[in-house]
Amino acid sequence: MAAVSQPTVTYNIRKRRPALVEFCIAQPLGAISGVAILVMLFAGMFAELVAPYDPLTINFGAMLAAPSAEHPMGTDAFGRDIFSRVIYGARTALTIGFFSSLFGCTLGAVIGVSSAYFGGRIDMAVQRFIDVMLAFPIIVLALVVVAMLGRNLVGGVDVNLIVAIAIPIVPKVARVVRSAALSIREMPYIDAARAAGFSHTRIIFRHMVPNVSAPFLIMFTAFIAQAILLEASLSFLGLGVTEPTPAWGLMLSGNASDFYREAPWMILFPGLAISVAVFAFNLFGDSLRDWLDPKFKV
């Protein structure tokens, strides 16, 4: 009997693209904003190599010089190169923005998860306190905190300013994380952890906090933009970074407001840097939300 040939079956296995490539294809605007953020990070980290001048060097012979090949963004009332100060200002803004958002989001996430886990009177008391904090505008709350704490420079960075900016972030993050943690609290593995005799601390940090990492990451990215804007506002009002430290908000105050007609570039370029940074982080945060949250996926 002749052997019957078996049909050949071929499997077309599609190789999955890396997550970074998938994100760039699905969220092109997020990818563009990510590139802008990387450029700012590079400029801030290697400001000594990128900036053509020392941002603190005063040159009275080049006071209020218009943008030129020698000074691409002109100079200020003290003859300091604005392009160099904008680059060094990126270091100040990103440092304060990153640590403020990290501290505020981390504390808010812990408070939100703990409030959802314990529930009852503890949850009620925590949420009423959060309601009180949310009743204050974020700039007013930051002004109160920075006025109470004063200044505390550690390694050239005002730690109290970071805390003052982080405090208004805490209630916003706590409220969002709590809503996500309420559903996690009812999961079977949480009941199993309780039945196994695990401590509350272990259940919160080992089983609940990791499951709210997606909203935490989204808010962390978005609140960097808000922290940068808040730092610029406080510096503009004289309660943030002080002279001679290069800071975008500080560059908009003082002499810039006196010479805005003769030298509009003193306001234009620092304001443009703030706008680009805030827009990039906001857009990247929105794209990250659309990418990580399954409710926004088609």
Handedness of CA 24, 28, 34, 38 (dihedral sign): positive
> Which residues, including other chains, have CB under 8 Å from residue 284's CB and lie 6 or more apart?
30, 33, 34, 37, 221
For residue 53, the 8-state DSSP code is S
The CATH number of 27-296 is which of 1.10.1740.10, 1.10.3720.10, 2.20.25.240, 3.40.50.720? 1.10.3720.10
Residue type at 111 in one-letter notation: I
- pLDDT (tens digit, 9 = 90+) per residue, 171-226? 999 999 998 888 888 888 888 888 888 888 888 888 888 888 888 888 898 899 99
Predicted pLDDT at 183 = 84
Residue type at 243 in one-letter notation: E
**pLDDT exceeds cutoff 70 at 5:** no
- pLDDT (tens digit, 9 = 90+) per residue, 10-47? 545 556 677 777 778 888 888 899 999 999 999 989 99
Contact by Cβ (8 Å): 265, 74:
yes
- pLDDT (tens digit, 9 = 90+) per residue, 155-167? 667 788 888 899 9
> Which residues, including other chains, have CB under 8 Å from residue 50's CB and lie 6 or more apart?
42, 43, 87
Reference 165, options 233, 89, 77; nearest CA is 233
pLDDT band at 86 (very low <50, low <70, confident <90, very high): very high
Reference 234, options 294, 144, 173; nearest CA is 144
Q: Which position has the token pair 């420079």? A: 153
β-bridge partners, 54? none
Predicted pLDDT at 149 = 78
The ranges assigned to domains in the chain are 27-296
